Structure 1
């Protein structure tokens, strides 16, 4: 049984900036960048024309937003500002570690996360109670180029696990994104409906059909 887990909102809870544009602006100023007066508008505008479902790395968006206001940033300033602005405080929900461990007993395990901030997935895992070695594969949208629910995201993680996409069971907290696994023939388990205790028990028994019948979002 190949299983992938969503990260944010599923395996970890993180404190996000209340005002991302302001947080990035503060870090840019700390790095000597002249932030434009209408930065909030610039940050909110679309600057990079990407295909539907493609991930635009946030540093690239920030750099483009600065250029749209004729502001030049020193090399890597945008990347360093974004990474610092989203530096996470992390909490690991009770039961998450056991669920990943139980999944690893049944087959290959992957992490599949929507994340436009470089380094954030790695930093989050380091600060969590999760063991990075429990994951055979870790895929973020900023690395693979596609955001869930786009099929490419799930096909990428299935390919790296060397399994067929239709055999993938994806555990997450958002039917609108994580539920996209169903478009490639896989199964979605909503951790909010199932709960980690039930998920772990079902995995330890190897009861795939039982697991999938627990949540209303599962086929």
Structure 2
């Protein structure tokens, strides 16, 4: 058995901007990028069609939104601006460290997270002192923006299983969202939802060997 764990809402709680277009606009302006007068309208509009289940990288969306208003920005600048806009303080949830500690005692551990902002999951783990370089950090980090597919698509769970070197049938995924995290159970893995078991309970079941 190997464990994958959702990040936002499961291991950590993070502050999110109420108006993300404004946060991105401020971050772009700080990098001397001209922000269009109708930026909110440009930001909120879709500028590309994606296959169902595909991740839409936010830095790509921002570049397309700017381009629709005649503003060119480099991929690196867009990526830096988007990351800075969403890189906010986080709170480690009660029981999160206990789950990771118990999971490491049982086998491989991955963080498997939906996130459209490149680098944000890694930055959030570092802020929480839960990065791969720490004793409790995951063996692997699998994000939708990197693998290209969002939970509940099978491919992101398969990516987590592959990263941990186990078949999908031996992957247990813990998360807080029945629609996305619960998808693990619908594609051949095992899903454990926090609606049904607290993090403390998950940690106890890991130690007992009764999680799946």
> TM-score under structure 1 normalisation?
0.91
Q: Could you tell me whether the CA contact under 8 Å between 1:22 and 1:40 is conserved in 2?
A: yes
**Residue 34 (structure 1) aligned with residue 37 (structure 2):** no
Aligned residue in 1 for 2:162:
159
Q: Deviations over 1:109-136 (max 9, x none)?
A: 1110111111111111111142525312
How big is each residue's C-alpha offset from its partner over 1:156-203, in whole Å with a ceiling of 9 and x where there is no partner?
A: 111121211122110000011001112221111112330111111111
CA distance in 1, matches of 2:75, 2:58: 15
Aligned equivalent of 2:143: 140
Shift of 1:48: 2.0
The Cα shift of 1:73 comes to 2.2
Q: What does 1:184-195 align with in structure 2 at a 5 Å threshold?
A: 184-195=187-198
Partner SS state of residue 195, structure 2: helix
RMSD: 1.4
**Any stretches of 5+ residues in structure 1 without a counterpart?**
210-219
Matched, 1:78 2:81: no
| Structure 1 residue matching 2:173: 3-state secondary structure | strand
- Give yes or no for contact 1:155–1:184 (8 Å, CA) kept in 2: no
Return 5+ residue gaps in structure 2 as ranges.
none
Matches within 5 A, 1:2-81: 2-74=2-74, 76-81=76-81
Mapped to 2, the partners of 1:131 and 1:6 lie a distance apart of 14
Q: How many residues are matched?
A: 209
Instruction: Give 1 or 2: higher helix fraction.
Output: 1
Number of the residue aligned with 1:99: 99
- Residue 150 (structure 1) aligns with: 153
- In the superposition, the TM-score normalised over structure 2's length comes to 0.94
2: CA distance, partners of 1:69 / 1:131: 38
Shift of 1:9: 0.5
